[in-house]
Amino acid sequence: MATAAPKTPSPEIRSQIVASATKFFSRFGFHKTTMEEIARNIHKAKGLIYYYFRSKEELFNEVLRAELQAVKDELLVIVRSPDDAIHKITEYIRTRYELLNRAVNYHETLKADFFEKYHFVKDVRDDFDAFEQEQLTRIIREGSEDGYLQLRSIEPTVNVAMMIIKSIDIPLFLQDKYAEYEQTIVELLTMITRSFQNQRKE
């Protein structure tokens, strides 16, 4: 969805723009960043950005997409590792919070939810949610098939996990409670591990 304006003429310039935009969006946010300064920073005219991107919103989308793609990539390493499901799940959640804690553009869209703005960013966020749902389902299903986890059904478990994980995002990233909650999250992971171990077959 939402591809660039023409056929991406010069990839170098395009990525220069994205790099510059990332720098400013990350530091000042969407509204306090101007297209003018994004362009000036790479010694180009503002009009040029519109040769590569349809709008400021599309450019922000690109930045956000890249930010979340980096998180996805790192999480996939964990999901695809040969470890057991319990280890994967705890590592996934722990790493997820650690990485997202630094994803400031994602934070901004989280906050925007409260003002019911930033509709233009919905696709990227939905995509990330779908990714997470998929990965958690995969981990839990595999652990279940290996007989490592014993669950009555997978879907409700994933739903609950998603609800909790996403809910905690808000105090964590919008209210800066990462430091405060970090230890409790570790305790939560320990509890999950123990809970699964007690339910393990054999």
| Of 94, 129, 95, 92, the residue nearest 110 (C-alpha) | 129
DSSP string, 122-168: HHHHHHHHHHHHHHHHHHHHHHHHTTSS--S-HHHHHHHHHHHHHHH
Q: Choose which of 91, 164, 173, 179 interacts with its own copies (CB under 8 A).
A: 164
Considering the rule CB under 7 A, would residue 57 count as an interface residue with DNA?
Answer: yes
Q: Please, are residues 83 and 91 in contact by the beta-carbon 8 Å criterion?
A: yes
Between 14 and 125, CB nearer to its own copies: 125
How many binding residues for its own copies (CB under 8 A)? 28
Q: Please, are residues 111 and 160 in contact by the beta-carbon 8 Å criterion?
A: no
Q: Choose which of 56, 88, 96, 107 interacts with DNA (CB under 7 A).
A: 56
Q: Choose which of 9, 147, 156, 171 interacts with DNA (CB under 7 A).
A: 9
Q: 157 to 196, contacts with DNA by CB under 7 A?
A: none
Q: Please, are residues 124 and 64 in contact by the beta-carbon 8 Å criterion?
A: yes
Considering the rule CB under 8 A, would residue 104 count as an interface residue with its own copies?
Answer: no
At 162, give phi and psi (nearest 5°). Answer: -60, -45
Burial grade of 138 (CB within 10 A; 0-12, 13-18, 19 or more): middle
Between 42 and 162, CB nearer to its own copies: 162
Between 14 and 111, CB nearer to its own copies: 111
Q: Candidates 19-27, 69-77, 127-135, 150-158: pick the segment binding its own copies (CB under 8 A).
A: 150-158
How big, in percent rounded to 5, are the helix, strand and coil portions of the chain?
A: 75, 0, 25
Between 26 and 133, CB nearer to DNA: 26
Q: Candidates 50-58, 62-70, 123-131, 162-170: pick the segment binding DNA (CB under 7 A).
A: 50-58
Cα gap 137→139, rounded to integer Å: 6
What is the torsion angle, in degrees rounded to the nearest 10, for the CA atoms of residue 150, residue 196, residue 172 and residue 162? 0
Q: Choose which of 58, 83, 181, 193 interacts with its own copies (CB under 8 A).
A: 181
Residues that bind DNA (CB under 7 A): 6, 9-10, 13, 33-36, 43-48, 50-51, 54-57
Residues that bind its own copies (CB under 8 A): 111, 113-114, 152, 156-157, 159-160, 163-164, 166-168, 170-171, 174-175, 181, 184-185, 187-188, 190-191, 194-195, 198-199
